[in-house]
Amino acid sequence: MSQRYDLLIIGGGMVGASLALALRGSGLRIAVIEAVAQDSGTQPSYDARAIALSHGSQRIFDSMGLWSAMVAATVSPIRHIQVSDRGHIGAMRMAAAEEGVEALGYVVEAAVIGRVLNQALADSDERIEMFCPARASAIEVLPDGVRLQLEHQGQTRQLHGALLVAADGGRSCVAEQLGGQYFSRSYGQCAIIANVIGEREHGGIAYERFTDSGPLALLPNRAPAWMADGAAGERRWSLVWTVREQELEEHLQLDDAAFLARLQQRLGRRAGPLLSVGPRRSYPLGLRFLRDHVRERLVFIGNAAHTLHPVAGQGFNLGLRDVACLAEVLHQQVAEGGDVGESTALQRYEKWRRNDYLRVMASTDTLARGFASNLLPLVVGRNLGLLATDLLPPLRRVLTRQMMGLSGRQSRLARGAG
């Protein structure tokens, strides 16, 4: 006998949990299946990485009634972005004031986002049911929905949903079980993340520096009081440093002083002297796009549909736009009394997301590859590009609005319409 739901979400990380919360009040009966216990300390979605949320993502969380809890937990506004190319003259600056907004984006630690989403899920009504820790297997697509098996609290259960949403990250077990085909590209690079304390306050400036091994970003990121380096206040930065795969181990093995010296050499003096660095973690980088992210009774969202290089800080922002658009389509389906897994509704969603996917994939890939090269035509081209963008306000404005997540047709949540 299976338990029946309208919607099954596999993956209760940043994107899956956000979708369940965006559908509060829809009347839909939702099951969220998450493999890793939230308090295990190993939850992969809610680790120490700093997430640069775009202005559009801030509006989505605000419309969902979650932004004030994030602000209370600590967010750091990005008021200026400075982009430069190490060893070359090209540079570009963006400012929130030019766009007439308080911030171009906000830096929030993934662990903080996790706390807020998990609390909101715990406070939501019984129509959202959380199975955690639990793993789904034997996924079967049927004409009227999807059936799967679940191991939870020592019991095997069968769940049936009219629609299955896979939000289970870059190594999606749903794609694996149901045969998903990805377009993928490896950059031969890894990202090292760490929190760094500087001598001077960051002043809301984010630095993106392109180097011959890959991009390096330093994001303003005040720590919440409950974290170990909470006392550093506005002197704390989050580092995302891209290095070549073969150089990763060497960077991880450096002692703190040698690591900071190398970082300072790559970055120059723009952020002032860097005094200390916290634990380092690394992530392999690549581009992966699922060719068919919408199928019969099945939608892939977030990293399960697209994994990006973090150079432009777009991965979660793109995933949150998936959430806002899918929630809108499903709300509309419910309002019209339709079946939420019906293919015309899912095709509407697929069509809506197509341009955003192509735009973000192309721009992120160009940045990741174009700026990692030392070939003369590429160096000249990208420096002319940076200079032109800096000198031509309309061009800069287009790029800034894309980075702020304000290009293309906006969802109701992103427009603040709730």
Residues near ligand FAD, by CB under 6 A:
10-16, 33-36, 44-45, 49, 51-52, 135-136, 167-170, 173, 191, 193, 240, 283, 302-303, 310, 313-317, 319
Closest to ligand FAD by CB, 289 or 379: 289
> 3-class DSSP state for residue 371?
coil
List of residues 6+ apart from 130 with CB closer than 8 A: 12, 32, 34, 121
Pairing of strands 205-211, 80-85: parallel
Minimal distance, residue 192 CB to ligand FAD, in Å: 8
On whether the CB atoms of residues 273 and 264 are closer than 8 A, the answer is: yes
Minimal distance, residue 316 CB to ligand FAD, in Å: 3
Minimal distance, residue 218 CB to ligand FAD, in Å: 12
How far apart are alpha carbons 338 and 348 in whole angstroms? 14
Residue by residue, DSSP assigns 147-195 as EEEEEETTEEEEEEEEEEEE---TT-HHHHHHT--EEEEEEEEEEEEEE
Closest to ligand FAD by CB, 128 or 379: 128
1-4: list long-range contacts, CB under 8 Å, 24+ apart. Answer: 1/158, 2/147, 2/157, 2/158, 2/159, 2/160, 3/31, 3/157, 3/158, 3/159, 3/160, 4/29, 4/159, 4/160, 4/161
Minimal distance, residue 368 CB to ligand FAD, in Å: 12
> 3-class DSSP state for residue 52?
strand
Minimal distance, residue 168 CB to ligand FAD, in Å: 4
Closest to ligand FAD by CB, 31 or 379: 31
Closest to ligand FAD by CB, 63 or 364: 364
Closest to ligand FAD by CB, 198 or 286: 286
Closest to ligand FAD by CB, 174 or 379: 174
Structural tokens at position 255: 């002692």
Minimal distance, residue 167 CB to ligand FAD, in Å: 5
Closest to ligand FAD by CB, 237 or 379: 237
Minimal distance, residue 414 CB to ligand FAD, in Å: 14
Structural tokens at position 58: 């801030």
Closest to ligand FAD by CB, 56 or 145: 56
Minimal distance, residue 126 CB to ligand FAD, in Å: 21
Residue 287 Cα distances to 141, 196, 219, 290, 308, angstroms: 28, 27, 22, 10, 5
> 3-class DSSP state for residue 245?
helix
Q: What is the DSSP letter of 246?
A: G
Residue matched to tokens 């049911």 = 129
Query: What is the CA angle 344-169-223, rounded to 5?
Result: 120
